[in-house]
Structure 1
Amino acid sequence: MTAAIQNPNEQLDTIAEFVRDRAAALDRGETDIRTDLARIGELGLLENGLGGKCLDHMVAVIDGIAAESLTVGFSLWAQRMTLEYLDRAPEHLRTRYCDELASGRRVGVTAMAAALKYLAGLGELPLVAERTDDGLTVSGPIHWASNVFPESLIVFPARTTDGGHVIAAVHADSPGIRINSSPELLALGATSSTSLAFEDVRIPAADIISEDLSEFCGAIRPTFLLLQTSFCAGIARASLTEASSRLYGLGEQFSGEYHRLAQQYGSLRDRLYRFATAPSSVPGADLIRLRLDGSVVAVAATRLEATLRGGAGYASSSATNRRFREAAFLPIQSPSEGQLRWELSKFE
C-alpha cells in the first residue's frame, strides 16, 4: 500500500501541524476534509492496525488529530472504518479499493451504524435489497452519513427480500443514488454529512462484501468503538490542557471539577490504549462503557474550558468555541448516548 515515514512521532507531529493550520478554515466552511484525508494517506497513517493487528498507533493518530480538530478526527474515523470493511472483503474488492482508501485518493463513507443498531435490537435496516440474476437492486434511505462526496465509496448494510442480509460497496455517484443537500450544522460542516436515498440502485454480485451481518459486525465492532473513543479522548485532552492553564483567580473555584475530570480522562486514556493492544479480546460491556465514558468526558471537558475562558471562548472564531460546538455532536453520534446506555444496561 502507501509508503510511511520511518519515525512515527514525526508522522504525528507533521499531520498535527497540518490539521492545526487548517482547523479554523474547516470550521468556517472554506474547505473540506478531503485535503486532510489525502495528507493523512500520503503519510501512510491509515493502514495502522489493519488485519486484526494492534490498534494502538491508529488510536494515537486519531487521538492526536482530534486534539487539533474533531472535524478531521471524525472524518478520519469514517475513512479508516471504510478501509477496515474493505480489508475484510473478498480479495478482488481489496485489490480494487484498499490502496485508494489507504492513500486518501478516494474518500470512504461508513453507513454501518444502522447495522449495529439493528443487531442491538433497536430497529430494522432501512435499505432493502432484491436479488437479481447478477447481484442486487437496493432501495431505501441512509438517514445519516459523513464524508459524502460524489466520488466517495459507500459501504452499507441492507436486508434482502428473501430474509437475508448483505453488506456491499457502491460509488456515491451511481445511478439511483440521491445525495440530499447537507444541512447547516452547529459544527462539523466540513465533513459533508447528510442523508441519501437509494432507488433501484444496481449492485453487482462482485461488490458484495459479506452476507453474514452478525459475524461481520461482531468482527469490526471493537475497532469501530475504540476508534470513536479515540477522537473523544483527543478533544477532551485539548480542552483539559487549556483549562489547566486557567485555574487561578476566579478559575480556582473550578479546581475540584478540573481534577475530577482529569482523573476520569486518565482512566479513559489508560483503558483506550490498553484495549487497543488486543481489541478482539475486550469484553463487549467494557467497550460500550469506554465509548460512553469518552463522550461524557469530552462534553464535560469542553464545557469546563468554555467556562474558564469566559467571553473570549464565547467568540465563534475561537478554538474553545469550536471544540465546544464540535463536542455537542458526540452524545447523538451513532451509537448515541441513549443507545450506549441501553446496551450497557443489558449487561447489568
Structure 2
Amino acid sequence: MTATSERAPEPAAGTDPATRDGLGLAVLPAATEPVLARVAERAGEVDRAEADLWDELSALGELDLLAAPLPLAAELTHALARRCTASAFALWGHRSAIAYHETTGTPLPDGAASGVVALASGMAPAFKEEAGLGEIPLLATDSPEGAIAVSGVLPWCSNLRPGGWVVTPVRWEDGRRAVVRHRRDADGVRVKELTGLTALDATASGVLLLDQVRIPAQDVLTHDLPAFRDDVRATFLQIQTAMCLGLAGAALDAAEAGADDVAREVLAEELSAAAEDWRHLREALAAG
C-alpha cells in the first residue's frame, strides 16, 4: 500500500535505516503504526501462546499489505521481527507462499491476500533435497483427470491454521517433482501440533501427515521444481533475511541499552563488531 498523493505519508515506526529501525527498502504506510504498536504490546502474550498473532496479521491484510511488493514486504517483516518473533515468522511463511503463487501464475486462494485465510510454506524439503540433505518425503501417484494423490509425512510446517492452505513439494517414484497446494483440512490430512517451542507456540506449527490426499490439476502449481526454486529463491531469502535482521537489530539494541559502564568497556569491541556486521548485512540486502 503506497501513497498516491503528491505529499508522501509520514513514515511509520520502523523505517529509518540510519538506526536499526528500518532497512531503507521502503516506507511503511502510517496506518501500520497502530498495528505495530499492538504487536509490540502483545508480544509477551504471543510468546506464551496466550494471544492470537493472526489478529494483527489480519489487520495488515485489511491494509492490503500481506501481498505487498517485495521491498515493502521485507520492510514490514523486519518491523514485525523487531517487535515479535512469532508474528514475523508467520508473515514470512504466508508471504513466501504468496510468492509461490505469483511465480507460477496461480491465483491465490480466496481470502489469502486479506489474511482471512492463512497460507503455510512447506517448501523446506525441496531446498534440502537440492542441497543433498535428504529426499522430498511426500510421495505422489497419478490419478484420473490430471489429479494426483499424495501421502507421506512433512516433519515441520507453520501457519497450519484451520481453513488455511499448504504449499508443498512432492515427488514420484519415477523421479518427477512438482509443487502443489492443498487445504489444511482436506480429507486425508492430519496435523500433529508441535508445542513447547521457544516463543513460537503461537505459530500453529506442526507435523503434517498426508494419506492419499487428492490434489486436483488446478492445485498443481508447477511440474518444474528446479525452475521454481530458482525463481522463488531470491524472494524467499530476502524476506527471511529481513526477519533475521529485525531480530538481530532488536537484540543489539537491547544489549547496548542494558549494558552498564563496566560491560560497555569490557564488551566494547564485540558490540562494535556486531553493530558493523549488522550494517554490512543491511547494506547487502538493500543492494541485492
TM-score, length-scaled by structure 2: 0.87
Distance 1:183 1:57 in 2: 31
The one-character-per-residue Cα deviations of 1:107-136 (angstroms, maximum 9, x if unpaired) are 010000100111122211100000111200
| Cα contact 1:5–1:43 (8 A) shared by 2 | no
Match of 2:224 in 1: 212
What amino acid maps onto 2:101 in structure 1? L
Match of 1:76 in 2: 91
Shift of the 226–180 alpha-carbon distance from structure 1 to 2, 3 Å rule, reads same
State the Cα distance separating 1:167 from its structure 2 match: 0.6
What amino acid maps onto 1:114 in structure 2? P
Q: Is 1:175 matched with 2:195?
A: no
State the Cα distance separating 1:272 from its structure 2 match: 1.2
Q: Displaced runs of 4+ in structure 1, greater than 6 A?
A: none
Match of 1:86 in 2: 101
Matches within 5 A, 1:305-320: none
Q: Give the 3-state SS of the residue equivalent to 1:122 in structure 2.
A: coil
In structure 2, the gaps of 5 or more residues are: 4-8, 10-27
What amino acid maps onto 2:63 in structure 1? L
Match of 2:275 in 1: 262
Q: Give the 3-state SS of the residue equivalent to 1:10 in structure 2.
A: coil
Counting matched residue pairs gives 263
Q: Is 1:19 matched with 2:30?
A: no
| Cα contact 2:85–2:199 (8 A) shared by 1 | no
Which residue, 23, 26, 49 being the options, matches 1:29?
49
State the Cα distance separating 1:244 from its structure 2 match: 2.1
Q: Is 1:110 matched with 2:121?
A: yes
The one-character-per-residue Cα deviations of 1:270-295 (angstroms, maximum 9, x if unpaired) are 111221xxxxxxxxxxxxxxxxxxxx
| Cα contact 2:138–2:170 (8 A) shared by 1 | yes
The one-character-per-residue Cα deviations of 1:143-197 (angstroms, maximum 9, x if unpaired) are 1000112211000100023321111110010010110132311221100111111
| Cα contact 1:5–1:11 (8 A) shared by 2 | no
| Cα contact 1:151–1:173 (8 A) shared by 2 | yes
Distance 2:35 2:183 in 1: 28
Match of 1:329 in 2: none
Q: Is 1:48 matched with 2:68?
A: yes
Q: Give the 3-state SS of the residue equivalent to 1:142 in structure 2.
A: strand
In structure 1, the gaps of 5 or more residues are: 50-54, 276-348
State the Cα distance separating 1:249 from its structure 2 match: 2.4
Q: Give the 3-state SS of the residue equivalent to 1:162 in structure 2.
A: coil
Q: Is 1:136 matched with 2:156?
A: no
What amino acid maps onto 1:108 in structure 2? L
Q: Give the 3-state SS of the residue equivalent to 2:274 in structure 1.
A: helix
Q: Is 1:245 matched with 2:257?
A: yes
State the Cα distance separating 1:87 from its structure 2 match: 1.8
RMSD: 1.6
Q: Give the 3-state SS of the residue equivalent to 2:270 in structure 1.
A: helix
Percent same amino acid at aligned positions? 32
Distance 2:177 2:101 in 1: 17
Distance 1:176 1:26 in 2: 30
Which residue, 146, 159, 167 being the options, matches 2:171?
159
Match of 1:10 in 2: 30
Distance 1:61 1:12 in 2: 9
Distance 2:85 2:223 in 1: 33
State the Cα distance separating 1:13 from its structure 2 match: 2.3
